[in-house]
Amino acid sequence: MRIVIALGGNALLRRGQPMTAENQRANIRAAVRNIVAVAGGNELVVAHGNGPQVGLLALQAAAYHDVVDEATPFPLDVLGAQTDAMIGYVIEQELRNLLPAGQSVATVLTMIEVDRHDPAFRHPTKPIGPVYDRVTAEKLAAAGGWVVAPDGDSFRRVVPSPHPKTIVELGVIEQLVEQQVIVICAGGGGIPTVRDDNGDLVGVEAVIDKDLASALLAAELGADLLVIATDVDGVYTGWGTAGQRRLDRIHPDDAEALSLPAGSMGPKVEAACGFARSTGGDAVIGALTDIARIVAGSGGTRVSVSGDGTKVPARRDQSQS
């Protein structure tokens, strides 16, 4: 079975943890154990987020600009490429430490083309970087020209998140998968690029949603299953209430009727629905620790166009994050 696994931010850094190399490696090592559990007999492609990491690099770049006045801060596409290489390196190393000798693993820096006229450029929604209290967030926003938005009881910087359109390195990724190579790619949703007036690829100030990019990747690769691994065991109705209920299986029509936050579970459900509709395959949203059960068909929330699905209660007031 060909499987695309999209690792959520919790695979790299748990909420509130200091963003140290040691913490990130420990979290990645735990995530990799779950991936290795389903490696036997399957073709695997691994994508991952990079929101906290690219946000940290953006802060460092801004600090350097303060020290060297004539220095231009590195744009988000370049910072994204840096984090993709760093995270890919650690994931690849940890995979190689656990996989049988002879199993090939490769990290592919992946450019993903977006529409330069995408309305997302006028309405930033994608959170990156650390969390701040309101006062600190407002100070940083004023100093750096940022847009900030609530994230739980804190605040984070938000940037444009245009929809992915074309995976530039798709052919290379497909060749590697066909040669039984485990591929790590589309990190952070891919490096955002657009076509200029001459038709040349150029980077753009944005961060593509990792789950939407993973869904596109899975569809283009003809994957049998898309696994969106996060820190909860599925999609819930009535989240945070005494009557909350996890959905085991749901049709895309019912899934899209749920009211879900744009900055968290919303893109995951959108990605799962898009993959299920475009391919007829299943997409599962579930816990990172349940990857083996998800692949076996017994874990997470399965979004599928086949079967009766799980009927959602008439009141759709879900606010799961």
Catalytic residues: 9-10, 126, 210, 268
Site of tokens 């009535």: 238
d(CA 227, CA 271): 10
User: Two tokens at 125?
Assistant: 């929604």
- Residue 283: strand pairing partners: 226, 303
**Quick one: angle between helices 210-221 and 170-178, nearest 10?**
60
In 3D space, the residue among 3, 11, 105 whose CA is nearest the CA of residue 49 turns out to be 11
Kindly provide the b/e burial profile for residues 75-109, where b requires at least 16 CB atoms within 10 angstroms of the residue's own CB: bbbebbbbbbebbbebbbebbeeebeeeeebbbbb
Q: What does the DSSP 8-state code read for residue 231?
A: S
Q: Can you say whether the dihedral through the CA atoms of 20, 22, 27, 28 is positive or negative?
A: positive
Q: DSSP letters along 120-171, please?
A: GGGS--EEEEEEE-HHHHHHHHHHHT-EEEEETTEEEEEE--PPEEEETTHH
User: Two tokens at 262?
Assistant: 């744009």
d(CA 4, CA 214): 7
